[in-house]
Amino acid sequence: MITFRVFVPFALGYFLSYLYRAVNAVIAPDLIRDLGLDAADLGLLTSTYFLTFAAFQLPLGLLLDRFGPRRTEAALLLFAAAGAGTFAAAPSTEMLIVGRALIGFGVSACLMAAFKAFVIWFPRERLPLVYGIQMAAGGLGALTATVPVEAALHITDWRGVFWILGGLTIVASGVLFFAVPEKQTGQPQTTFGEQLRGVARIFSSPVFWRVAPVTVAAQAAFLSIQSLWTGPWLRDVGGLDRGAVADSLLMIAAAMIAGFISIAVLTDRLARWGVKPMSVAVPAMGLFMVLQAAIIIQPAGQMADPMAGAGLSLWMLFGFFGTTGILPYAVMSQSFPPHLAGRVNTGLNVLVFTSAFCAQWGMGAIINLWPVSPSGGYDPAGYQAAFTVMLALQGAAMTWYLLFRRSL
């Protein structure tokens, strides 16, 4: 019962966090139509979520380790609700950016607070499995951001969708605050200076810098593409109409959920035989890169051909193996004392989400270098160039890890 009371409220928060993160992939045509956005504008608007998310990660780590995950996340979710209301009522692109920024700030604790709580409540050796199931809850949020949101747009508009999300976020905040129990960790209260020294200890650790680059590169590519550019790619390169795009995004999100659960279970089982999480993560990240290369060389319009199913299969595998970037978080949690857990994961998250912001906006800027088609779509060559840049960065990071890896 206690496990249920701990896990479910944090899973609900992360479900909403991922729904907010991915919803623009479906409502992008409405935003482009209503506000006249180009690719760079759309990338900036959507990626602002990542910027404010990343900016608060180090202060968040201090708050999690000092005040606990329950109170910290419950308070921050109220800012996300305010951001949803601002986004829904926004009369201009600038106010949409403000709303999106508040959302990113407000959900910035949804994963890290859960990880901190799980370190407190669950055995260390089960963390990869528990983390994977938590990520699957996020996958359900990504799935909800596809066909269900598309269906909701037949009843209301994108503004109505965000009013509903704001109300659900207030409910999630209340559930976290009132349902999750407290547990004393046995760690003495530390001063602010001691907390900062803990951050310095993390960022000066060789283990951290051996793992961080490959994690950051893989996660930045996955987050920036999955939460925005997959939808426009399916339209402009895949040749799909709006309904087919939503259906495809649903299938990709379902594959992502399967990936989080399957890889977590596999890692948990292999750990019992002495196989370490990075020994699973690195080969899977390599396969993730191969899948991106296959997507890059897909011919334009291929997915519109009902006899050609390879395109969707590649994207579903992209969703499945993109989830492996979460495994290094468990490695980090197991490599430092429990009282540093909040700061360890948020320290890594600073790099991941700052990179995701740069990647999502930067991909839009690259796509914008090519002319827009008469129908309003973006040039397939722009997507090819943007995806290739992301793949090259992952290749460089993987080389770094393989050259300087140690026993992890």
Q: pLDDT tens string for the chain (408 positions)?
A: 667 788 899 999 999 999 999 999 999 999 988 888 888 889 999 999 999 999 998 888 778 878 889 999 999 999 999 999 999 999 888 999 999 999 999 999 998 899 888 888 887 767 767 877 888 899 899 999 999 999 999 999 999 999 999 999 999 999 999 998 877 655 556 666 777 787 788 888 888 888 899 999 999 999 999 999 999 999 999 989 889 999 999 999 999 999 988 988 888 788 788 888 888 889 999 999 999 999 999 887 766 554 445 688 999 999 999 988 878 877 776 777 777 766 787 788 889 999 999 999 999 999 999 998 877 789 999 999 999 999 999 999 999 999 876 545
First to last CA, the chain: 34
| Superfamily, domain 2-404 | MFS general substrate transporter like domains (1.20.1250.20)
DSSP alpha helix (H) spans, 90-226: 93-106, 112-121, 127-144, 147-152, 158-179, 192-203, 206-224
Dist. CA 5–CA 188, nearest whole Å:
25
What global pTM score does this model have? 0.85
d(CA 31, CA 45): 10
CB neighbours of residue 288 within 10 Å: 24
Gyration radius (Cα) of the chain, Å? 20
- Which 3 state secondary structure label does DSSP give 307? coil
